[in-house]
Amino acid sequence: MEKVQLHDKVFRKFIPHSRLVEAIDEVAEAVNRDFEGCEDVPVMICTLNGALPFTGELFMRLKFNCELGSVKLSSYRGTASTGTVLTVQGLTEEVRGKRVIACEDIVDTGNTILALRELLLANGAKEVKICTMLLKPDVYDKDVTLDYVGMKIPNDFIVGFGLDYDGYGRNLPDIYVLDK
């Protein structure tokens, strides 16, 4: 589909699924290189709900033992960030003393990833590596290093591959941008 309608808005295809798979392959290669031969068992934390497709695809490409957990944070209402990050569901996996790979679907302002990093460290994580499928470098203004970035994109509102507009569009395999 070249265009989709979700609620009151129309979105046009922006990034095809094949390009997303290439980016995930590249991220997996970097993560595997960094954790190759590790004797500990790191834990990958998926930020629900948006990072679910990305985390699942990435997790299946890991070549080392790794636990999987999740957390649910929220900062968006409609097409805009509220500026406040809420913990909707706490961590489902113990991170104390472990190296953590924190997976996000998208990093824009960085408020959510900063809150996630602080949550993981407060729960005793030994190390936190930040991994995101998408980065909006034009609006990211935090000092937190992003260790793994799948793709950089402009500061446009997008849906698909886990990203939604008021709950719709997460199941689209491609990524769509708001059609102005």
Task: Give catalytic residue positions.
Answer: 108
Which SS3 state, helix, strand or coil, does residue 116 take? helix
Which residues lie below 8 Å from residue 166, measured CB to CB, with a gap of 6+? 6, 7, 78
Burial of 81 from C-beta contacts in 10 A (0-12 / 13-18 / 19+): middle
Contact between 40 and 65 (Cβ < 8 Å): no
Q: 104 — phi, psi (to 5°)?
A: -120, 155
